[in-house]
């Protein structure tokens, strides 16, 4: 085995906390959301007042949604004001043609096996940054806005209905918005597969301890293995 030549503190505590709260919430939201759309269990016969079958699933969905929203806002705050070299938006400029240039293309080529050299990044590489922007930033934003718009339907004229209710006419009707929310939920399992695969692969290929880094915060540089 190659010797560890450098230990780098990459993911600071706020980033790691965000990551795990977000992961747990996303799983909870996906599972409870699917259940709400197609409730599986029927309680035994009896009075409706004895059971809370659907209420609990909906409650779990809403509760984890509010934790998810708070966590997301916290991460946005940290990205802008945290002064965290690896946890900020800093280098991500998809509106600038320069950003799509050499580093991005090199990373894409590397993923497509068109280059033998793996570009090495301590934080997110440009492709990862783009994936996080699309799936986590845009995806979560859409789920939050559409979710709060639908939550606002429970209380017409209330805060959520006033501030997020415009999503309903934008999507044509409440039903269409529910449908879009349901469909978009599937980007999270897709993201999870890609994310886990990319992490494990980088760990195997680059041996940077990226998998454990989200628990410990540390990534490693290792000496080239003598063959």
155 three-state secondary structure:
coil
Q: Judged by CB under 8 A, does residue 50 bind other proteins?
A: yes
| Region near other proteins per CB under 8 A, out of 48-56, 83-91, 119-127, 136-144 | 48-56
Name the phi and psi angles at 158, rounded to 5. Answer: -80, -175
End-to-end CA distance of the chain: 10
Element containing residue 128 per DSSP (H, E): helix 126-131
String marking each residue 95-124 x if it binds other proteins according to CB under 8 A = ----------------x-x--x--------
Q: Judged by CB under 8 A, does residue 168 bind other proteins?
A: yes
Cβ 138 to other proteins, closest distance in Å? Answer: 16
- d(CA 197, CA 210) in angstroms, rounded, equals 12
| Region near other proteins per CB under 8 A, out of 15-23, 52-60, 79-87, 135-143 | 52-60
Q: State which residue, 77 or 197, has the beta carbon closest to other proteins.
A: 197
178-181, long-range: CB within 8 Å, 24+ apart, which pairs? 178/150, 180/146, 181/33, 181/143, 181/146, 181/147, 181/150
Q: Where are the beta strands (DSSP E) in the chain?
A: 4-9, 218-222
- d(CA 18, CA 68) in angstroms, rounded, equals 9
Residue 4 bridge partners (DSSP): 222
Binding other proteins (rule: CB under 8 A), the pick from 101, 189, 211, 215 is 189
Q: State which residue, 73 or 193, has the beta carbon closest to other proteins.
A: 193
Q: How many residues make up the chain in this entry? A: 227
Cβ 193 to other proteins, closest distance in Å? Answer: 5
| Region near other proteins per CB under 8 A, out of 9-17, 75-83, 87-95, 181-189 | 181-189
Cβ 8 to other proteins, closest distance in Å? Answer: 24
- Interface residue list for other proteins (CB under 8 A): 34, 37-39, 41-43, 45, 48-55, 57, 111, 113, 116, 153-154, 156-157, 165-166, 168-169, 172-176, 178-179, 182-183, 185-186, 189-190, 193-194, 197, 201, 204-205, 227
């Amino acid at each position: 085995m190659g010797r560890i030549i450098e230990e780098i503190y990459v993911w600071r505590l706020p980033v790691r906390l965000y990551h795990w709260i977000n992961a747990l919430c996303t799983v909870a939201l996906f599972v409870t959301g699917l259940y709400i759309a197609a409730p599986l269990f029927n309680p035994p016969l009896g009075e409706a007042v004895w059971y809370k079958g659907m209420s609990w699933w909906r409650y779990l969905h809403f509760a984890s949604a509010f934790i998810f929203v708070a966590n997301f806002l916290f991460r946005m705050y940290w990205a802008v004001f945290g002064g965290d070299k690896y946890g900020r938006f800093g280098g991500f400029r998809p509106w600038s043609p320069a950003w799509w240039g050499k580093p991005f293309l090199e990373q894409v080529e590397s993923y497509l096996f068109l280059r033998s050299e793996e570009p090495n990044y301590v934080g997110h590489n440009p492709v990862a940054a783009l994936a996080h922007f699309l799936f986590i930033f845009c995806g979560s934003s859409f789920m939050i806005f559409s979710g709060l718009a639908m939550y606002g339907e429970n209380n017409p004229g209330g805060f959520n209905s006033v501030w997020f209710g415009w999503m309903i006419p934008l999507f044509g009707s409440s039903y269409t918005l529910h449908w879009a929310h349901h469909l978009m939920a599937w980007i999270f399992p897709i993201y999870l597969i890609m994310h886990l695969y990319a992490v494990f692969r980088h760990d195997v290929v680059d041996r940077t301890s990226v998998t454990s880094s989200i628990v410990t915060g540390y990534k490693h540089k290792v000496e080239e293995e003598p063959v």
